[in-house]
Structure 1
Amino acid sequence: MSARSTVVKFQNNSGNTLFLDPASINLIHGEWVTYPPEKIPDGQTGQWESDSDGFMTGTEGQLQYQFADSGGIENVRLYWDNPYIGNNGYSITVSAAGYKVGYEGGVGDNATVTFYVKQE
């Protein structure tokens, strides 16, 4: 087992299918164990994992999923950071009004965090 790993789960209750934006993928530190899915249908949960790949390192990454809304193409951006030293950090934002985003969990050296997007 790696010194640090993060399993990311992303629950989609947006009413839309989410499509991964390949150009947005940035694994800043670490390596992929499981790559993010290309799409997450409404009502489904996507999952991926990254872990550390060096001595005294962590894992950190960011990406975005997109969906079509009445306002055009919208973005949901996710960020995770599980450093070797210090606290874990996470964020999720959505570009469209009418949606709620957040996350739960994500504690520990080998963490699991669950992000979500849902209609308000």
Structure 2
Amino acid sequence: MKWLFFLLLPITSHGQALTGRSVAGEVYAREQVRRIVSEPVGVTTTVLPTKQVAVAVAEAILFPIYGQRTIVNERPYEVYRIDGCWYIGGTLPAGYDGGTFEIVLKSADGQVLRLTHGK
């Protein structure tokens, strides 16, 4: 009987019990996803409209990968908007050896086009 509890646990975990709730259903969800995926891409807004937003998103991506201390030590960043993309790169004090991060994000949707860190 204990094994039955463990089989049912994933169904009700994370507050996702649908009993007594009005739901659209999986068929409706599938129709919506297929409709959205098949629609022409028409981005009417820019997800990364400003330098500040682009840097905040870049740091949110870079900190967990390379460490907050490493990335913060590469401030001030070089930030340029070029051809609908944000180029953000770290800097080092003059005379220091080593590499810095480089990230390129699409301003329309935030997609990461390049992510690297030199040594």
Q: Name the TM-score, length of structure 1 as normaliser.
A: 0.32
More strand by share: 1
TM-score normalised per structure 2: 0.33
- Relative to its length, the structure with more helix (as a share) is 2
